[in-house]
């Protein structure tokens, strides 16, 4: 039985509608752009996902694993959208796209600037069609600069930003990528946030905007808490397996069976921790009275804590620390994450059924007035909404749509 079979069905209560009435054209593929439009769709925007006829989004081919003939990577970031197939590299197809642009509020694009101009989808062209349009570009290095035309994936952005250099056990061991497409998700979230800010300003001024999101900049900004201390101190951090935190005790520890995380972020938590483990003498030791002192003696303190935690299993320590309000937690594998009561009771995971097959989803995880429900539509099959979209957005009849279809543009 698939793990998805154990998930609750999609909620049948009203979904969030904060962006109701906002129309979004999503011309992007892969993860970053589709994640941006997923966030906008979850909040109530109507998203037309414009895809290449016969091929669609690159992520549709990313597998295995597949589920019911669809890539699970694709299914993870494409709910609540309408799939429209359209070859806008051809003149008649571009004319149809421009008609949709005129009716849109936001357009998302992940082509470099040179390709945008070639295809007729750059901001300079589209703002003349729709002066109120919010035009959002997500590229590797931005729309300007020496690297503006360079292709980029999450992996390249992670390496470029420094996060890979600091991820891993030690300088002698290989640098490591983050275990999820962090640059994609961060730049996608930036794009959604920027689009919403631009919409607020547009509604005040009537003026559209061009938004330029560079994946390497989104990922580099993620490194702010490491970059600023380096710039202000000259101390170059190196990968250490997460043992070099500015907080003296903020790391993983082994117990008698499974590892845990432990974060003693201030003096009051440090004192409660020492009492909880039966070592009040450590709390009274003036050498350890503040974080700077604890950092100076970190190896000694870590050794003492590690020896104590090895005497009992994880569940003992986590229960003890929870009772003492000490920040600690398990290191979960994904099978444990999706069955964790803290997450499941809040409805973060669910699975609508399509053709009798459960399609697993991770919810928005943000509540507005207690409501976190977002599901309106399953991730779309390629082109399933083409006719409906042209009819509802543009009022086109069957004959007009048939002409595009007969020309091989849909």
Catalytic residues: 184
Pairing of strands 70-71, 66-67: antiparallel
The answer to whether the beta carbons of residues 180 and 252 sit under 8 Å apart is no
List the alpha helices (DSSP H) in 254-352.
Answer: 267-276, 280-284, 291-296, 298-309, 314-323, 334-337, 341-344
CA distances (Å), origin 118, targets 57, 112, 293: 20, 10, 60
- Measured between alpha carbons, how far is 105 from 130 in angstroms, rounded to an integer? 9
In the DSSP assignment, the letter for residue 345 is T
- Measured between alpha carbons, how far is 388 from 101 in angstroms, rounded to an integer? 16
Q: Which residues pair with 156 in a beta bridge?
A: none
- Measured between alpha carbons, how far is 303 from 301 in angstroms, rounded to an integer? 5
**Sign, Cα dihedral of 68, 36, 39, 47:** negative
The answer to whether the beta carbons of residues 409 and 86 sit under 8 Å apart is yes
The answer to whether the beta carbons of residues 80 and 42 sit under 8 Å apart is yes
Picking from 324, 167, 180, 152, the residue whose alpha carbon sits closest to that of residue 237 is 167
Chain centre to alpha carbon of residue 19:
19
Question: What stretches of 188-316 adopt beta strand conformation (E)?
Answer: 209-214, 250-253, 260-263
- Measured between alpha carbons, how far is 162 from 245 in angstroms, rounded to an integer? 16
Tokens of 175: 């640098």
- Measured between alpha carbons, how far is 190 from 184 in angstroms, rounded to an integer? 10
Instruction: Please provide the distance, in angstroms rounded to a whole number, between the alpha carbons at the two ends of the chain.
Output: 38
Picking from 338, 406, 366, the residue whose alpha carbon sits closest to that of residue 44 is 366
């Amino acid at each position: 039985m698939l793990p998805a079979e154990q998930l609750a069905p999609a909620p049948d209560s009203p979904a969030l509608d904060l962006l109701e009435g906002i129309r979004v054209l999503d011309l992007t593929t892969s993860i970053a752009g589709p994640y941006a439009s997923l966030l906008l769709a979850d909040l109530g925007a109507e998203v037309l996902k414009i895809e290449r006829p016969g091929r669609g989004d690159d992520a549709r081919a990313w597998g295995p694993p597949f589920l019911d003939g669809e890539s699970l990577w694709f299914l993870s970031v494409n709910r609540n959208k309408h799939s429209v197939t359209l070859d806008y590299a051809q003149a008649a197809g571009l004319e149809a796209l421009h008609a949709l642009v005129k009716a849109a509020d936001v357009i998302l694009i992940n082509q470099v600037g040179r390709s945008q101009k070639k295809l007729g989808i750059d901001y300079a062209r589209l703002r003349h069609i729709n002066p109120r349009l919010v035009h959002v570009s997500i590229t590797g290095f931005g729309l300007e600069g020496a690297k503006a035309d360079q292709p980029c994936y999450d992996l390249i952005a992670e390496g470029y930003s420094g996060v890979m250099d600091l991820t891993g056990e030690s300088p002698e061991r290989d640098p490591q990528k983050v275990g999820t497409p962090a640059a994609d998700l961060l730049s996608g979230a930036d794009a959604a946030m920027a689009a919403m800010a631009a919409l607020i300003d547009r509604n005040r001024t009537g003026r559209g905007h061009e938004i330029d999101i560079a994946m390497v900049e989104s990922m580099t900004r993620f490194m702010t808490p490491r970059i600023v201390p380096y710039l202000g101190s000259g101390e170059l951090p190196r990968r250490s397996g997460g043992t070099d935190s500015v907080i003296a005790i903020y790391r993983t520890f082994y117990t008698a069976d499974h590892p845990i995380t432990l974060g003693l972020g201030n003096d009051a938590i440090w004192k409660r921790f020492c009492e909880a483990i039966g070592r009040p003498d450590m709390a009274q030791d003036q050498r350890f009275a503040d974080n700077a002192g604890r950092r100076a003696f970190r190896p000694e303190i870590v050794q003492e804590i590690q020896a104590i935690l090895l005497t009992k299993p994880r569940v003992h320590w986590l229960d003890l620390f929870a009772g003492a309000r000490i920040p600690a937690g398990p290191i979960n594998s994904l099978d444990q994450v999706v069955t964790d009561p803290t997450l499941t009771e809040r409805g973060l995971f669910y699975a609508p059924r399509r053709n009798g097959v459960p399609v697993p989803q991770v919810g928005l995880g943000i509540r507005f007035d207690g409501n976190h429900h977002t599901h309106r539509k399953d991730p779309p099959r390629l082109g399933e909404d083409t006719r409906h979209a042209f009819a509802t957005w543009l009022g086109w009849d069957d004959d007009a749509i048939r002409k595009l279809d007969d020309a091989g543009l849909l």
